[in-house]
Structure formats: C-alpha cells, structure tokens
A and B are shown apart, each in its own frame.
Chain A
Amino acid sequence: MEKKLYNKLVMDHKPKEKRGQNAFIAFVVGGLMGVIGQLLVEFYSYYLNISSSDASVFMIVTLIFFASLFTALGFFDKWVKFARCGLIIPITGFAHSMTSAAIEYKKEGFVTGLGANMFKLAGTVIIYGVVSAYIFGFIRLIIMGGA
C-alpha cells in the first residue's frame, strides 16, 4: 500500500479529540488561576501594606509553593490531566514541571540525578524565555527608545 494511502487509513480510524471541551476547561481554569493570583496580590498589598508590584512577587512565590507542594503530595498531575493548559501555562505549570522532574530523578543522586534533570522540562522555557525577552527588549529599545 502507498504510504499516503496508509496515512489516510490511519486518519479514518483516528478518534476525534474533544478540542472544544478541552479548550473550554483550560480557559475557565486558567481564568480562575488569574482570579486567585489577583486576589493574592490584593491580599498581600492590603494586609502587608506593600506596593502591588511587591505583592505580585509574593503572589508568584505562593503559587509556586502550592503547585510544588501539590505535585509532591501526588495529586497535581491528576489536576493537570483534567485542566491541561489551564494549569500548565500559568506559573503553576513551571513549578510543577521542575518538582515532578526533581522527584523522578531523586534516586539517581542529588548531583547526577536531581540537579542534572530538574530542568529537563523547564530548561526549554527558561532558554527561550530569556532569548525572546532579549529580542523583545531590543525591539522596544528601537521603537520606544528604551522608555
């Protein structure tokens, strides 16, 4: 059989992914994460009497802490399976990817295992995050003169 024909046969038997439903859940959960984040910012700036930019840092640290804790307790992966990008795209996904890798490779030693593999998933995000920040920084400098 022609490989193209075979590919068509494979496509004929492929189940339809529930893209609409997945996107909706991710949208709602991602939105809820935003709401929680905003509430945390308000909470910290009000009760600790700090600026909202300082409170944002506190908010991020809080979310990272809980995502990592829930990963370590073993149920965050079930949430991720359900909410998908609703939890992967926010900072919780970043923390989750690092903690899960750290747990996975702990047995191979702190240096050769945990240290070497902790950024297995998150490394990509950091590298391209830094590179794109650099590029967009330049664009901003050229267009807005560094303002």
Chain B
Amino acid sequence: MTTKYKNVYIEDVATVVGPYEAKGPLGKRFDKKYTDMYFGKDSLESAEVKLMTDSIDLVLKKTKKEKSDVDVFIAGDLQNQITASCYAARELSRPFLGIYSACATNTEGLIIASNLIESKTCDKVLVSVSSHNMVSEKQFRNPTEYGAPKPGTATFTATGGASCLLSDSKGKVRIESSTIGIPVDMEQTDPLHMGSVMAPAAAETISKHLSDLDRTIDDYDLILTGDLGQFGKEILKDYLLKEYNIDLKNKYNDCGVMLYDLKEQKDVQAGGSGPVCSALVVYSDIIKKLEKKELKRVLYVATGALFNPTMVFQKENILSIAHAISLESVE
C-alpha cells in the first residue's frame, strides 16, 4: 500500500550510539557517544532503555519542546515484548504505541506517524527505535562472553538509540510518500545470513513503491536499504534486475554497510543490523544532506527479518518485511 503525504515534516532527529558505532565512518556526526556498553546502568537491558530515553531527551532539547508537546509516542526495538520501548515510554509518559517489524521498525513507525499527522489526528509525533548488540546476542544467539564464531555473512546488531520528531509545521525535510510492505517467504532458514532473507522483501517493496507511484529509479537520488549487509546488497541488485527488471545503477547503498568501516572493523562481518542501524545512518547523514539540498529525494527502505529462534528450531522459514518512505528536501 502506497500513500502520498502533503503535510508531514521532520522537525529534528537525535542519535545516541555505543563505542563501536562511534568508531565508524559516521562517528563524528552522532549527537551522543558512549565509551562502554552499560552507560552507567546495571544490566544490558536497562542500558538499551537509556539509549532510547537519551535520544528522546536530545530531540526534545534540540526542538525546544516539552514532553507534553508530544501527541503520540511510537517506538520499537528488538527485545522480547519490545521492552526498551515500553520502559522508555514510562519515562516519557505520553500516549504510546509499541511496534515491531524487527529492523524495519523505524520506517513502520514513521509511516504510522505520517498517517496520524496527514489525517490531522496529531500535530507532533515522536518516533524512536533502539537496539543493543549484547542484548540481541543474549536474546537471539549465545551468551555474549561465549563469542561463538560466525560466518562472514553474519551481521552485527548496532548499539544505539534514535528519535525523530515529526510535525505538521513546515521544515526542511518532508516525508513525501510511503509504502507498507508485505511479509515475504523465500524459504530462507539461515539466521546468520539475514541479507539473503531480507533482500526479496526489499525488492518487493521497492518495485511496489515505484509501480504504485508510476516512477522509476531516476526519480530518486538515492535508494537506501536498511541492513542487508555487503552480501545482501549484491543479492538485492541482482534479484531486482532479474525478477523485476529494475536496475539500481549507482544510486543504491545499504545502511548496514555505511555504519561501519568493514575493512577496519572486522567484528561486524557483513555489516550492521538492528532497528537502529538504518535510523542512525539516515538521521546522521542522509537527513543532513537533504537539508543542505545535496540530495533531493531519497527512498529509505528499512528491511526486517521477522526472525524467531523458536520457529527456526522448529524448521520454519524466516520471514522478512520491508517498509519504505520517500524523503524529500523542501524547496
């Protein structure tokens, strides 16, 4: 489903990251950086809550808004029962919608928020996401201190919190349209190769978006996928061309590849992942370029593997989904 918006603007964004992300190529552009993984909290789970609340506080401070100015707070993360979001919502104490689309959560939130603003239900909607590398490792894989060896296709959950305040008052960047994706099953079962799981979902959403709006790749300056990683990125290019006859040319990049220096930071393997991965790249880099009009229109396709360890152990396939939003710099 593709929707066009006339009146949805990004008021401001805020990013908070852990030490690994701070060392990456975008390191200097994040608003707040931590040098450890606990951020003064006792447990990793509480540390993730702090990432999100920090990013909320920062975006409110930047926009000179009070908590009470937020009409609705939409948030999601990777923890079971989206714990980090719920506890961050406790701090904010505003009407709260908790959402989950794995690593596509950020665009899901932005789409819901855009619809609330376009329909004039709300004036200001706050969308937040977070993820924490060690929380994800503990929940989805092995204990963090175990350090189980992984293949080169594995991705590295980014540690960070990111918030975006959407508003109906005119700003420099607007959300111009969105496409809600369909869950895709290509019979992929390897949880250590999420790029192969998610690439078909990204392809499906990109082609749907273009056909619904009767556009081509040339109508965009950049197509940005969430966190396919370096191998998923190549799969997507190939698959889009073969299956949908869409050539991404040189207008395509992947946030998972952009967040880290893949040559220097070997631990990230194929690249970054997690709901916050694409949010960190888009908020720290892409939005700034749109504000300066270096980019005119960007299609941001966050990709999520709807991965449940229990279902994988029960020999079910891993599903994936991708939601897209088109960001445009305002004249």
A interface list, Cβ under 8 A from B: 1, 3, 6-7, 9-10, 12-15, 17, 22, 71, 74, 76-78, 80-81, 84, 96-97, 99-101, 103-105, 107, 120-121
> For B43, B145, B242, which residue has the most chain A Cβ atoms within 10 angstroms?
B145
Q: Is B147 an interface residue, CB under 8 A from the partner?
A: yes
CB within 8 Å for A121 and B239 given contacts A3-B187, A84-B149, A107-B42: no
CB within 8 Å for A10 and B235 given contacts A17-B151, A104-B143: yes
Interface of B is mostly: loop
CB within 8 Å for A104 and B231 given contacts A6-B200, A10-B188: no
Whole-angstrom distance between the alpha carbons of A6 and B204 in the complex? 14
The total of chain B residues at the interface (CB under 8 A) is 27
Is there an interface contact between B231 and A80, defined as CB atoms closer than 8 Å? no
Q: Is B144 an interface residue, CB under 8 A from the partner?
A: yes
A4 to B: closest C-beta gap in Å = 9
Q: Which of B144, B149, B152 contacts A81 (CB 8 A)?
A: B149
A119 to B: closest C-beta gap in Å = 12
CB within 8 Å for A104 and B144 given contacts A13-B234, A15-B231: yes
B238 to A: closest C-beta gap in Å = 6
Is there an interface contact between A96 and B193, defined as CB atoms closer than 8 Å? no
Q: Which of B43, B143, B235 contacts A100 (CB 8 A)?
A: B143
B136 to A: closest C-beta gap in Å = 13
Closest to B145 in A: A100
Chain B residues within an 8 Å CB radius of A10: 188, 193, 196, 235
Between-chain CB contacts (< 8 Å), 6 pairs? A1-B200, A78-B147, A80-B147, A101-B146, A103-B143, A105-B143
Whole-angstrom distance between the alpha carbons of A76 and B145 in the complex? 8
B interface list, Cβ under 8 A from A: 42-43, 138, 142-149, 151-153, 186-188, 193, 196, 200, 231, 234-235, 238-239, 242-243
Chain B residues within an 8 Å CB radius of A6: 186-187, 200, 239
Chain B residues within an 8 Å CB radius of A13: 196, 231, 234-235, 238
Q: Which of A1, A12, A101 contacts B243 (CB 8 A)?
A: A1
B185 to A: closest C-beta gap in Å = 9
CB within 8 Å for A80 and B193 given contacts A1-B243, A10-B188: no
Closest to A74 in B: B145
CB within 8 Å for A120 and B239 given contacts A6-B200, A14-B153, A15-B231: no
Is there an interface contact between B144 and A80, defined as CB atoms closer than 8 Å? no
Whole-angstrom distance between the alpha carbons of A104 and B188 in the complex? 30
> For B142, B149, B151, which residue has the most chain A Cβ atoms within 10 angstroms?
B149
CB within 8 Å for A101 and B186 given contacts A10-B193, A13-B238: no
